[in-house]
Amino acid sequence: MATQTIMSQRDIDRSIDRISLEILEKNHGVDELAIVGIHTGGVFLAERIRRRIVDQEQADLPLGHLDITLYRDDWSLISQNPIVRKTDIGFPVENLRVVLVDDVIFTGRTIRAAMDAIMDYGRPLSIQLAVLVDRGGRELPIQPDYVGHSFIADIDEQVDVLLAEKDERDEVVLHGAGK
């Protein structure tokens, strides 16, 4: 199985910078804005995006972490004993534009589950989506608002986002390329 680097640390940093600025531009600043990372990879990216926005705007910005395990329509296929992580949304989502952050978008099922989970916390003004990698292959009509890198991966290829917070380095790799 061949492995190919899709994004280097520098590419990831540039993408996070660009996504952060695009979020600010689209939302005209940070008023009524919140960032929510989807466990696991989306949490680290959400923290980085929030940090860039706070540094740029010199303003506070609510940050939350969301576990969608029990909202997934396929959780019983993944494991009979799913690992449920902590959801931490310590602010009311009503009257906020919530930016969901995830590392990779593929079928759209994770994002659908995340939207269901957010709605259990209230009705936001809007939900936007930021992803580091869009690998194509959607099964649901869900598209990200902010994307670091897009490409079409084959169904049997796997995209891994490695982040220093959990993997000791930043890199996006594609496994199974070149078959």
Query: Looking at residue 58, which CATH number applies to its domain?
Result: 3.40.50.2020
**Is 81 part of any domain?**
no
Taking residues 3-10, report their average pLDDT.
97
Q: Which residues, in sequence order, are bridge partners of residue 129?
A: 100
**Is 45 part of any domain?**
yes
**Is 113 part of any domain?**
yes
What does the longest C-alpha to C-alpha distance in the chain come to? 48
Q: Is the pLDDT of residue 75 over 80?
A: no
Taking residues 125-151, report their average pLDDT.
97
**Using H for helix, E for strand and C for coil, what is the string for 67-100?**
CCHHHCCCHHHHCCCCCCCCCECCCCCCCCEEEE
Amino acid at 28: H
Percent of the chain with pLDDT over 70: 90
| Cβ proximity of 7 and 147 under 8 Å | no
Dump strand ranges (E) for 8-137: 33-38, 63-66, 97-105, 126-134
- Tally the domains of the chain: 1
**Is 97 part of any domain?**
yes
Taking residues 165-179, report their average pLDDT.
87
**Is 38 part of any domain?**
yes
pTM for this prediction: 0.92
Q: Is the pLDDT of residue 174 over 90?
A: yes
| Cβ proximity of 114 and 102 under 8 Å | yes
Taking residues 100-116, report their average pLDDT.
96
Q: Is the pLDDT of residue 53 over 80?
A: yes
**Is 4 part of any domain?**
no
Residue 113, domain extent: 9-73+87-153
Q: Which residues, in sequence order, are bridge partners of residue 104?
A: 133
Taking residues 115-123, report their average pLDDT.
95
**Is 160 part of any domain?**
no
**Is 61 part of any domain?**
yes
Task: Name residues whose C-beta falls within 8 Å of residue 178's C-beta, 6 or more positions apart in sequence.
Answer: 2, 4
Query: Residue 40 — pLDDT band, cuts 50, 70, 90?
Result: confident
